[in-house]
Structures are given as C-alpha cells and as structure tokens.
Amino acid sequence: MPRTKTYPEDLRDRLVAAALERLRTHASEHVSLRELAARCGTSTNAIYSIFGGKDALMEAVIELARAELLAHVVLFDEPDESLDAFGAAGRRYRAWARRHPDLYRLTFEDGGPIALGEEDMARVIALVESLMAQGVLRRTDPTALIITVWTSLHGFTLFELNRWPHGSEEADYYYALTQQQLAEGLLTPGMLAVLAAQLTPEASA
C-alpha cells in the first residue's frame, strides 16, 4: 500500500501568504502555481494535495485579504467614536484598494461585502449609534446606514480603479465630492452647520 505524502504543518499558511504577496502586484491569472511552490520550497503536487487546485487556494487568499482589509480599515484596538474617525476609515479603505488594485478586485469578485463577525459588527453598530446619540448622524437604522456607506465607498472605489488606474487629482476631487454628498444625507443639520462654519474664511483665518 503506497504511503501518503505528508507536508509541513505550516505549508498551507506559507502558500497562502506567498499567493497573497504575488496578488498585491499581479492579477490572479498571472499567479503561477509552479512559482508559488518553488518560493515555498515544495512542489505543485503539494498545492493540489492541500487545496485541491488553484481555485481553492484563491479562496483562501481572498479570505485572508478581506481580513487584512478589515483590520486596516476598522481600528478596533484604537476605539474612537468621532466623526473624524468615521471618515478616516473610509480613506484607509480607499488607500488600501489603490495600493493593491488587483487584490481588491479579486477580493470582491463575487460581489459580496466584507464579512464581519457578530462581535465586530456589534462594535461598528455601537460606533454608529454613539454618533447618532451625539447628534452627529441622523437617527436611522444603524445597519442600513452602514450598508449605505459601504456601497457608496465600494462603488466609487471600483469606479476609480477602472477610470483612473494610476490615480489623479480628478479622482481625488470626485472622491471628496461624493463623500460630501454622502455626508449631507447622513449628518444632522446641526453638524452640517458646524462643519460649514469651520470652512468659512473667518473660521479658517
């Protein structure tokens, strides 16, 4: 009876990490299993034995990339229930996508959003509810508001990567404009008045 080939316990993680690094700068069709295997000091047979094929390997990479993006955007270790923190999270999301456009596209190839665990989702909802209680955000269903913000940000980000793949001042202008329009729909009249006052010549002098 033939012996079953065994591989190092960490090989799966190393293969996923190597594929993730490759996808930071290359589209998935340019990821070679032979090259990944060589980088990890193994054979393509190991990849098929562990994952069953390239598609399953890519699914593992997508899961890791989504976790990385989430950790980059939502700084749970540095809780900050402020409007500035809310806006900064969106800017970090966009910056990550611009640094890793091919990986970003692959991450959302199935059209699905970032999957938040129950605990993490509860913390995001708590942030939104805190901003509502402070009179910053209009009172509405917190989950609906989160969906609105994400779909707006995700939609613009995909549009930007296709329309301005190398970035441009025009992209920055329209990002700022779309965020302003989004804010006008989400912020309370009182907060909009505060922000408007901060932007007057007298306030900035």
CA geometry: angle 203, 181, 98, nearest 5 deg: 100
Rounded to a whole number, what is the largest CA-CA distance in the chain? Answer: 85
Place of tokens 């562990």: 50
Residue 110: pLDDT band with limits 50, 70, 90: low
For the whole model, what pTM was predicted?
0.80
Residue 112: pLDDT band with limits 50, 70, 90: low
User: In order of start, what are the domains of the chain with their CATH numbers?
Assistant: 7-64 (1.10.10.60), 74-204 (1.10.357.10)
Query: How confident is the model over 63-100, as pLDDT tens digits?
Result: 899 888 888 887 666 666 677 888 888 899 999 999 99
Q: Which residue has the higher pLDDT, 11 or 124?
A: 11
Spatial CB neighbours of 143, under 8 Å, sequence gap ≥ 6: 125
Residue 43 has pLDDT above 90, yes or no: yes
Query: How confident is the model over 165-179, as pLDDT tens digits?
Result: 998 999 999 999 999
Please tell me the predicted confidence (pLDDT) of residue 85.
Answer: 81
SS (H, E, C) the chain: CCCCCCCCCCHHHHHHHHHHHHHCCCCHHHCCHHHHHHHCCCCHHHHHHHHCCHHHHHHHHHHHHHHHHHHHHCCCCCCCCCHHHHHHHHHHHHHHHHHCHHHHHHHCCCCCCCCCCHHHHHHHHHHHHHHHHCCCECCCCHHHHHHHHHHHHHHHHHHHHHHCCCCCHHHHHHHHHHHHHHHHHHECHHHHHHHHHHCCHHHHC
Distance (Å, whole) CA 157 – CA 94: 6
Residue 204 has pLDDT above 50, yes or no: no
CA of 143: how far to CAs of 123, 125, 134, in Å? 12, 7, 18
Residue 199: pLDDT band with limits 50, 70, 90: low
Residue 200: pLDDT band with limits 50, 70, 90: low
